[in-house]
A and B are shown apart, each in its own frame.
Chain A
Amino acid sequence: MHPITTVHYLALSAALLLIGTVGVLTRRNIVIILMSIELILNAVNINLITFSRIWHNMDGQIFAIFVITDAVAEAAVGLGILIALFRNKETVLADEIDLLKW
């Protein structure tokens, strides 16, 4: 078996990013769209930590901490919006919220 190199991690992170993107673009359920955003943020973190390791530099890991903090803030606000939306429109499907559509 080949030893694991940086390229393996980059390919994995790209694959996870694409899975998350497919989720955001194709799902109708807002809860699952928010989960897909978490997948995307995790893919970014894998990249940051891989480069932090190969350059022997802590900056990548610090950035990963900030990304996780952002993910927390985003999940909290996003789920708050979802609850407000469900109370007013009785739906969690993203394409049924088309008030601004012409």
Chain B
Amino acid sequence: MLIDTTLFYLFAALALGGGIFTITRRNAVHSAISLIVSLLGVAGLYLLQQAEFLFAVQIVLYVGGIMVLFLFVIMLVNLDLAAKERQFNKQWLVALAAVAAVAAEIAYFIYRGKDAFHIAEPTMVLAPPALGNTEALADTLFSEYLLPFELVSILLLVAVVGSVVMAKKRI
């Protein structure tokens, strides 16, 4: 139990610290690297919750795919001028106040409702299920969620065509 606790706090610190660095750095490449750290922390949290398949997906797809795409665009778009400018917009104070209000609200709800989750808590320590995580996931995905799975492929096709059309100079 102790190692679980330590690992949770380690990964949580990675996720939150990376997130804070992502939104405060002036240089977009530094932001991207902080975001990679944050995403790896989140991946570790998936692993702690026995979601091994999503752990792999998070690393391969997010860190290996999306972040490389971000870095390519940072290279493609000239950000040197933007790095010299003001980094935060004029309404940042209002935005911070609004977010602080929402934070207080969420903290209150979590504090008041924290006992509601203890009903489900004892099942956590049961023996692991007979099926592996990936196998169980595939069973559900390809039986119950087959139609959404097919629809999502259309979404990806639309996204690919859309981004090509958007980024092309002359169609």
User: Measuring CB to CB, which residues of chain A are less than 8 angstroms from any residue of chain B?
Assistant: 1-12, 14-16, 18-23, 25-29, 31-32, 34-36, 38-39, 42, 45-46, 49-50, 52-56, 58-59, 61-62, 64-66, 68-77, 79-84, 86-87, 91-95
B6 neighbours in A (Cβ, 8 Å): 1
The residue that B23 contacts in the complex, of A10, A32, A62, A91, with Cβ under 8 A, is A32
CB-CB nearest in chain A for B39:
A42
Q: Which of B66, B99, B106, B164 is within 8 Å of A25, CB to CB?
A: B99
How many A-B contacts if CB must be within 8 Å? 238
Q: Main SS of the interface on chain A?
A: helix
With A35-B31, A79-B70 known, 12 other A-B pairs at CB within 8 A are: A16-B15, A16-B19, A25-B99, A26-B88, A26-B92, A28-B86, A35-B70, A49-B54, A54-B121, A64-B54, A81-B166, A84-B167
Q: Are A72 and B89 in contact (CB under 8 A)?
A: no
B contact patch SS: helix
Partner of B88 from the list A10, A27, A70 (CB cut-off 8 Å) is A27
Contact of A65 among B54, B126, B155 (CB under 8 A): B54
Instruction: Using A39-B35, A53-B50, A71-B66 as known contacts, say yes or no to A28 and B88 having CB atoms under 8 A apart.
Output: yes
Q: How far is the CA of A3 from the CA of B4 in the complex (A)?
A: 8
- Chain B 54-82 against A: per-residue CB contact (8 Å), 1 yes, 0 no? 10011001100110011001101111001
B95 touches A26 (CB 8 A): yes
Q: Which residue of A lies closest to B61 (CB)?
A: A68
Q: Are B96 and A26 in contact (CB under 8 A)?
A: yes
Q: Is the CB of A22 within 8 A of B35?
A: no
Contact A62 B145, beta carbon cutoff 8 Å? yes
A20 and B62 CA atoms in complex are apart in Å by: 16
A38 contacts B167, C-beta separation under 8 Å: no
Known contacts A29-B79, A31-B74, A42-B42: A72-B19 contact under CB 8 Å: no
